[in-house]
Amino acid sequence: MSVSAPRRIRMVLKALSLILAVPGVLLYLASYFWGAWLLLCAIALYAADRFLAVGSAVFGSEARKLLSRAIVPVAGIGSALLIGAVIMAITGYNPISSYGALFYGGLVRNWHISVLNATPLIFTGLAIAFAFQGGFFNIGAEGQYYIGVIAATWMGLGSTLPGIIAIPAIFAVAAIAGAALNAIPIILKVKTGAHEVVTTMMFAYVVRTLSPMFIRAHGGDPALTSHPYTTDLISESVWLPMFKDFLPGANYRLHIGVLLAIGAAFLVRFILMKTDLGYKIRAVGHNPVAAMTQGISVARITAASLFISGSLAAIAGATQVLGLDHRMFQDLNAGYGWNGISIALLARNNPIGIIFTSLLWGVLDAGGQYMARTTQTPNAIIEIVKGIILFLMLAEVIYKRAGSVFGRWAGRFKTAARKGAGA
């Protein structure tokens, strides 16, 4: 059967997009910055494929929808950067040179640090977004991150298995530990209605309190070791493969965890948008009462949503141990769980958007440190910028929720008024 010319062109565009995207990523990770141009070309070819697939009218509608979803986050980021520039100017620092150093450091000089920072943020952002999609607030992702670190360190210290077996097993144990940490909050939510914001946060503090005890018991006792307040190194056989092992020129710290994180983002998107479970999670998140009338068990969806959310956050911790730290530190003040909230809100709970917002956060972190070293501008200003972004995103969410609540109240009031007038 012959293939039509437009279909043949689309097949060529898809093939070229894939051919350019894969080496583009690998070359960029190997410090060949023109790999970024290959990625841009791949994106342009993909856009052309979509244009041919759906036609100009639908493509324009999709583009407008994408822009409408992106305009608030982009405006929030721009407003935060502008306020940051005003603060710099008031305190005697040059905003132009400071921001120049920020983006040069985050995108060029220390770009690999940006990627390393973004890797756990993708996982924790996905964890928060997955719960948000079901209408739940897993604020305890920081504790689930810690339990993932503990599980991976514990398994890695005693592992004698080859990495091809041990690494998946460690990720599985970490995921189970993260899910288990959410078990009691789930029971309290389903049985008593206790809000998950309070219960998950409480368990986050419990795990952080127990962490020093674990470290002392596994090589970190200051009276018995030369490396106090850190565990022994995990077995080298369970370290995640480094890019330098198969990609000459790649930074020595970059590991395949970033590819796992990106893969997880696409997997979460598939689950939420293409599976029956994802449909039920989104239905409960949109309107639990309506979901119940359709025969959906809200209790089961609550459990599934928070179990998967906890697993994703714990996998972030396991990735950090296996890929970068290779041990657990007592002064571990990751903040990845808390920052995951900002990441998810900024991406509007879109799994693919979380990849880009995590990279933005990674750029701000790595670039802020470079900016502080080269221009003497305090890195605290960048933390203020991040806080403003979070505030603006939260303000939008609160405004929408308040509007829906007031709208329901107004509707009930009008209904009651009409009934009273009829009587």
298 compared with 396, residue with greater pLDDT:
298
**pLDDT attached to residue 1:** 43
Residue 201 three-state SS = helix
Kindly report the average pLDDT of the chain as a whole number: 83
Closest CA to 152 of 128, 173, 123: 173
**Which tokens belong to 174?**
């970490």
42 compared with 242, residue with greater pLDDT:
242
**Which tokens belong to 212?**
């020093």
**Which tokens belong to 404?**
């829906």
**pLDDT attached to residue 318:** 95
**Which tokens belong to 7?**
């279909």
Contact 116, 358 (CB under 8 A): no
The Cα-based distances of 219 to 30, 143, 147, 149, 216 in angstroms read 35, 22, 18, 15, 6
Q: How far apart are CA 218 and CA 220, in angstroms?
A: 6
State which fold the 93-402 domain adopts: ABC transporter involved in vitamin B12 uptake, BtuC (1.10.3470)
Domain residue limits, the chain: 1-75, 93-402
**pLDDT attached to residue 8:** 76
Contacts of 376 (CB under 8 A, 6+ apart): 93
Q: In degrees to the nearest 10, what's the CA dihedral of 408, 409, 411, 414?
A: 180
Over residues 267-280, mean pLDDT:
93
178 compared with 335, residue with greater pLDDT:
178
Residue 246, CB-side half-sphere exposure with 13 Å CA sphere:
7
Q: Identify the residue whose tokens are 């359709």.
A: 294
Q: What is the pLDDT of residues 370-386, one digit of tens each?
A: 999 999 999 899 989 98
**Which tokens belong to 66?**
């994408």
* Residue 353 exposed, middle or buried by CB count within 10 Å (0-12, 13-18, 19+): buried
* Residue 383 exposed, middle or buried by CB count within 10 Å (0-12, 13-18, 19+): middle
**Which tokens belong to 241?**
């493969």
Long-range contacts made by residues 51-54, C-beta under 8 angstroms, separation at least 24?
52/6, 52/9, 52/10, 52/13, 53/10
Q: Identify the residue whose tokens are 């107004």.
A: 410
Over residues 320-329, mean pLDDT:
90
Which of 83-92, 93-102, 137-146, 332-341 is predicted with the least confidence, judged by mean pLDDT? Answer: 332-341
What type of residue is 233? L
Q: What is the pLDDT of residues 80-130, one digit of tens each?
A: 899 999 999 999 999 999 999 999 998 888 888 899 999 999 999 999 999
Global pTM reads 0.83
The Cα-based distances of 118 to 67, 146, 347, 357, 419 in angstroms read 24, 17, 14, 9, 56
What are phi and psi for residue 230, nearest 5 degrees? Answer: -140, 150
CA angle 54, 57, 61 (to 5 degrees): 90
Which of 186-190, 353-357, 402-406 is predicted with the least confidence, judged by mean pLDDT? Answer: 402-406
